[in-house]
Amino acid sequence: MANKMTEKQKMMAVGGVALGICLVAAGGVYWASGLIEELEQTIAQKKTDIAACEQKIAKIPATEQEVVILRENLGEYVKILPEEQGLEDFVKMLYQFEQSSGIQTINFQPGRPARKNDKQVERFERIEYQYELTATLWQFLKFINSIENYERLVAITDYSIAHLNEREPILRDGDTVHTIKLTMETYTYNPNSSGQEVTIPDYNDKKDQLREEIVKRMQPIRIDKYEHRGPRGRRDIFVDPREREGQAEGAPVEEQRAILEKFLGEMQRLKAVSQKLAKTDLTIFDQFTFERELKEGIAKLEEQVAEVNGKQQITSPQVRQRWIKEVLEPLADMKAAGGGKRDGETRDPYLSGDEMQQLVDSMTQLLGEGDLQSASDRYEAIAQRLLVPESDPRYSMAVTAKALHVRVRTAMEFSQLELKIQGVVVNHDSGRAGLLLNGNVFEEGEYISDELMLRRVEEEQVWFVFRGLTLIKTL
Amino acid sequence: MIRINLLPAEYRRGNRIPPKVLAATFGSALAVAASIGWFGVVYFGELGDLERHDTAVTAELTQKKTKASYYDKLEVNRVDYAMRVQTIQDIGKSRRVWSKFMDEVVDVVNNSGDSERHLAWFEGVTVKTDKKNRAATVTLPGAVQGAEMSKVANLHEDIQRTPFYADVATKTAPGGKYAEDKDRVPPDSFEFQLQMQFKPMVAEPPKKKPAANPKPAGNGNK
């Protein structure tokens, strides 16, 4: 057949086949170019994605730090909003507040968590409590103050104070009882309500590294607290203070004035002690003596003030005004000033080395003068501040002071012994001397009792050894 | 006439591949080789290189995506924690310490025992807090001893000097009415109602703008 093809036909056939193959190859190239273009676009997209990923990756260290800090801080923050089981503790605590304040609960209704959806647990759930109670104004203030100062965040939203529907006012601790309605709310925090905590590799190491930053960023949540200081002699503003016709309240004014004068006298004394204490040239012993005197005086006066207030002995408006201004307020100020505690006083619980030296010198001097009682008093006034640990460099000084005190006490106890020396025999040549003591004869070196030995007898003095300490008794 | 070629077949002129055909075949073979070569270069060269590059890029992307996804989770945590902290802070800030308020009211009413300026007392107190903005309203119905209105004004003046007053947005003006209680000494008093509206503790979210009124349907034949 082929042999029968003409030259032209052969050329056409070869050319045609070649053209066909070329066309297929060109088609293949076109197709491959399409693939290349597509692949290039894919690669470009992937490179863009990689760049985006790299941007994110670059932020990982900073974000990790931020998450560690926030996670640690959140742990602290949520302490004010414990989880649901914390509510039982809260209710128990409310009962304790009731007991300590003295209120009487009539009705207590805890509300249900205010969920938007019954099935879905909110992250922060608000719970409301309704209280109905009877209390004096001061009991009520103490109660709500305890709630407001509680570690869990509780907000009092609504309340009302009204008179009891009684003909005669009911009194509790001398104060009028009111009926009070109170609504308060708290929140529970459900950490698992949504979101999952990502696992950060080497979390504890990172936390340790960020310790300073965590503390620095631990912004205290602004939860205002307040320290209610009780009635402080103030009257209940929900009681008409005017006297009832024909019923003069309280003791006669003269008697009230006498009570006031008594307190003013004591206040004057305490102020004088406080002024002495403010002087700069005080010895450490004077300082401790005055401080103790002032603190004891304030404590005693406070007890007496509480008694007067409790019995409502000061009712006259004029006397009451002086009572508040001249007794209650200065006493509160004196107490707030720390009972004479000096500003900038060191927190070191022990005496300084100089002060200890001063104590030792002073005790030695008093011992030399024979004033045993003063020496002992000085030591005992500040004995608690001499209990320095052995590792402290002041320890040896404290031991010296204690040894001196032991000597003082021994000497004092010796002086209390009944030693009636009725005669002495002194032998200058040879042999031992002796004495007639409490009707008995003792020679030198003889024990008078288990703790007392006769050491030497001279014409004008006798040497004893009492509990290891040599003491001389002059005749 | 019949011509018979007696030459062996290989020497016969007519049986040899003609040079034109040979040239065409050679040319075609070259073209075919070139086109196949071109295809080979494109397919196995460029495309192959790109595929290998793509594999490497894909591997890199997979690796980086893992880390990026870790970052995404971290970011979700960060935003979540920040929101929780903010919520707790908001809750903490939205509280008013009523024991402090009441103590200050007691102080101002007692006036350190000075009854010349005013001697006041209250029938009761009602405090209500708005749940949304936490603004509280305090209502104190009360009275001052004596028949002088000025004492009510004195009390109002003293209230305005208290620390809590900085948080008060509005207060009723001094006023009231004379009352007489013959069971009391002195019987005269001036009754009033003191109401204070505290500032909101929480900023209210901006109110949504009402949707624009739909335009009246026109006839479209303008």
In terms of Cα–Cα distance, which of A342, A335, A108, A76 is closest to A223? A76
In terms of Cα–Cα distance, which of A7, A226, A318 is closest to B112? A318
Q: Cβ of B102 and A67 within 8 Å? A: no
A239 chain-B contacts, CB cut-off 8 A? 121
B110 chain-A contacts, CB cut-off 8 A? 234-235, 237, 324
pLDDT at B104: 95
Domain boundaries along the sequence of chain B: 19-93, 98-198
Mean pLDDT computed over A211-222: 76
Q: Tell me which residue in A18, A32, A200 faces B42 most closely, judged by beta carbons.
A: A32
Q: Give the separation between CA B35 and CA A203, rounded to whole angstroms.
A: 62
* Same domain, residue pair A102 and A153: yes
Name the pLDDT band for A88 (thresholds 50, 70, 90). confident
User: Does A454 score more than 70 pLDDT?
Assistant: yes
Distance of CA A171 to the CA centre of its chain: 35
User: Does A2 score more than 90 pLDDT?
Assistant: no
* Same domain, residue pair A410 and A426: no
Cβ count within 10 A of residue B83 = 12
* Same domain, residue pair A315 and A379: no
Class of domain B98-198: alpha beta
Cβ count within 10 A of residue A417 = 15
pLDDT at B145: 92
Model confidence pLDDT, tens digit, residues A139-163: 999 999 999 998 888 899 999 999 8
Residue B187 burial by Cβ neighbours in a 10 Å radius (0-12, 13-18, 19+): middle
User: Does A223 score more than 80 pLDDT?
Assistant: no
Residue that terminates a domain, selected from A284, A302, A336: A336
Q: Give the separation between CA A79 and CA A188, rounded to whole angstroms.
A: 10
In terms of Cα–Cα distance, which of A136, A103, A144 is closest to A234? A136
Q: Cβ of B88 and A81 within 8 Å? A: yes
* Same domain, residue pair A405 and A426: no
| Position A18 in a domain | no
DSSP code string of A427-475 = -SSSS--EEEETTEEEETT-BSSSSEEEEEE-SSEEEEEETTEEEEEE-
- Percent of chain A's residues with pLDDT above 70: 90
Q: In DSSP terms, which residues pair with A303 in a beta bridge? A: none
pLDDT at A250: 65
Q: Nearest-CA distance from B209 to chain A in Å?
A: 25
Tokens of A306: 């509480």
Phi-psi region of A393 (alpha: psi -120 to 50; beta: other; left: phi over 0): alpha
| Position A344 in a domain | no
Model confidence pLDDT, tens digit, residues A369-382: 888 888 888 888 78
* Same domain, residue pair A91 and A165: yes
Q: Give the separation between CA A407 and CA A467, rounded to whole angstroms.
A: 10
Longest Cα–Cα distance in chain B? 171
Q: Tell me which residue in A39, A74, A228 faces B84 most closely, judged by beta carbons.
A: A74
pLDDT at A344: 45
In terms of Cα–Cα distance, which of A370, A365, A372, A400 is closest to A386? A400
In terms of Cα–Cα distance, which of A6, A27, A63, A7 is closest to B73? A63
pLDDT at B14: 62
Name the pLDDT band for A472 (thresholds 50, 70, 90). confident
Q: Cβ of A53 and B53 within 8 Å? A: no
Interface contact A95, partner B, CB < 8 A: no
CATH number, domain of A129, equals 3.30.70.60
| Position A31 in a domain | no
A80 chain-B contacts, CB cut-off 8 A? 88, 92
B75 chain-A contacts, CB cut-off 8 A? 63
Distance of CA A48 to the CA centre of its chain: 58
Per-residue pLDDT of chain B (222 residues; tens, 9 = 90+): 777 778 777 777 666 677 888 888 889 999 999 999 999 999 999 999 999 999 999 999 999 999 999 999 999 999 988 888 888 878 888 889 999 999 999 999 988 777 889 999 999 999 999 988 889 999 999 999 998 889 999 999 999 999 999 999 999 999 999 999 988 888 999 999 999 999 998 776 666 555 555 444 434 333
Domain count, chain A: 4
A124 chain-B contacts, CB cut-off 8 A? 87-88, 91
pLDDT at A411: 87
Q: Which helix (H) or strand (E) holds A108?
A: strand A104-110
Model confidence pLDDT, tens digit, residues A160-198: 999 887 677 888 877 889 999 999 998 887 776 656 788
Q: Give the separation between CA A24 and CA B36, rounded to whole angstroms.
A: 9
Where do the DSSP E strands lie in B123-219? Answer: 125-129, 136-145, 168-171, 177-180, 184-185, 188-198
Rg of chain B over Cα atoms, rounded to whole angstroms, equals: 50
In terms of Cα–Cα distance, which of B142, B55, B63, B58 is closest to A47? B58
| Position A122 in a domain | yes
| Position A225 in a domain | no
pLDDT at A116: 54
* Same domain, residue pair A166 and A185: yes
Q: Give the separation between CA B174 and CA A45, rounded to whole angstroms.
A: 75
**Bigger pLDDT: A70 or A282?**
A70
Q: Cβ of A237 and B95 within 8 Å? A: no
Q: Tell me which residue in B58, B65, B92 faces A153 most closely, judged by beta carbons.
A: B92
What's the CA dihedral at B6, B10, B15, B18 to 10 degrees?
-140
pLDDT at A114: 59
pLDDT at A382: 80
pLDDT at B222: 33
pLDDT at A434: 87
Q: Would the CA dihedral through B166, B172, B174, B179 be positive or negative?
A: negative
Residues 6+ apart with CB under 8 A from A293: A273
Q: What is the residue range of A288's domain? A: 253-336
* Same domain, residue pair A289 and A367: no
Tokens of A133: 């109670």
Q: In DSSP terms, which residues pair with A440 in a beta bridge? A: A437
What is the pTM (predicted TM-score) of this model? 0.60
Model confidence pLDDT, tens digit, residues A94-149: 999 999 999 999 999 887 665 555 555 677 888 889 999 999 999 999 999 999 99
pLDDT at B2: 78
Interface contact A197, partner B, CB < 8 A: yes
H helices present in chain B, as ranges: 19-40, 48-93, 98-110, 150-160
* Same domain, residue pair A469 and A434: yes
pLDDT at B67: 92
Q: Nearest-CA distance from B14 to chain A in Å?
A: 10
* Same domain, residue pair A157 and A91: yes
Q: Give the separation between CA A139 and CA A231, rounded to whole angstroms.
A: 10
Model confidence pLDDT, tens digit, residues A420-448: 888 888 877 767 788 888 888 888 888 88
pLDDT at B197: 96
Longest Cα–Cα distance in chain A? 177
| Position A110 in a domain | yes
B15 chain-A contacts, CB cut-off 8 A? 3
User: Does A407 score more than 90 pLDDT?
Assistant: no
**Residue burial A70-101, b: 16+ Cβ < 10 Å; e: rest:** bbbbbeebbebbbeeebbeebeebbeebbeeb
Q: Cβ of A57 and B98 within 8 Å? A: no
